[in-house]
Amino acid sequence: MPIDRNYLATVCPEGGRWQLTLNGEEAMMAWAGRFGRALIPPCVVYLQGTLGAGKTTLARGMLRGCGVQGAVKSPTYTLVEPYELPEMTFYHFDLYRLGDPEELEFMGIRDYFGPRNVCLVEWPDKGYPLLPAADICINLDLSDGGRSRQLTIALCSENKSEGSVPC
């Protein structure tokens, strides 16, 4: 299980629907920090939503919550940024500029998805079908005229053995 389920129930107020609305960047960072601390490697988290939906903010909050200090920059041009922690390594991907999923092979994509790693992936659909399947999908939608974000969280690990992708 890539996340502590009991913990998940406490951070997702609507229980089984795994849906919540976060008002403002500060609330997003705080929630993401708690969510990030509940992740158990190996874990693959897809962050899905349009440009400006808050995917990078969410990743930044998770990294900060897990103790990453210093800048957490968007990996738009580098495709991936590593963050080494004592207990695990985070890889933050942004595949928006990936021209062809085949490029993932040249990056040695499998090596990033090791047993002590947590991978946070923005624009995972660009990596289909070479990107490993998700354990957790978080979809972000703008709400309240853009002042808030609605998060929908799905645990996908159950389907993983069947090789299915995006939730």
Ligand X SMILES: Nc1ncnc2c1ncn2[C@@H]1O[C@H](COP(=O)(O)OP(=O)(O)O)[C@@H](O)[C@H]1O
Binding region for Mg ion (CB under 5 A):
55-56, 74
Q: Report if residue 28 touches ligand X, rule: CB under 6 A.
A: yes
Any contact of residue 22 with ligand X (CB under 6 A)? Answer: yes
Name the CA radius of gyration of the chain, rounded: 15
Taking Cα atoms as reference points, which of 142, 143, 144, 135 lies closest to residue 166? 135
DSSP string for 24-64: SHHHHHHHHHHHHHTB-SSEEEEEE-STTSSHHHHHHHHHH
Query: 102: which DSSP letter?
Result: T
The residue count for binding ligand X (CB under 6 A) is 18
Q: Does 54 bind ligand X (CB under 6 A)?
A: yes
153 binds ligand X (CB under 6 A): no
Q: Is 139 in the site for ligand X (CB under 6 A)?
A: no
- Residue 24, interface with ligand X (CB under 6 A)? yes
Residue 22 three-state SS? strand
55 belongs to the binding site for ligand X (CB under 6 A): yes
d(CA 98, CA 96): 6
Establish how many alpha carbons lie within 13 A of residue 35's alpha carbon, considering only the half-sphere containing its beta carbon.
Answer: 25
User: Using the rule CB under 6 A, is 62 a contact of ligand X?
Assistant: no
Minimum distance from CB of 150 to ligand X (Å)? 9
Stretch that binds ligand X, among 6-14, 17-25, 83-91, 100-108 (CB under 6 A): 17-25
**For Mg ion, which is the closer residue by CB, 60 or 136?**
60
Sign of CA dihedral 6, 4, 64, 150: negative
Does position 56 interact with ligand X (CB under 6 A)? The reply is: yes
- The residues binding ligand X (CB under 6 A) are 22-25, 27-28, 49, 51-57, 122, 147-149
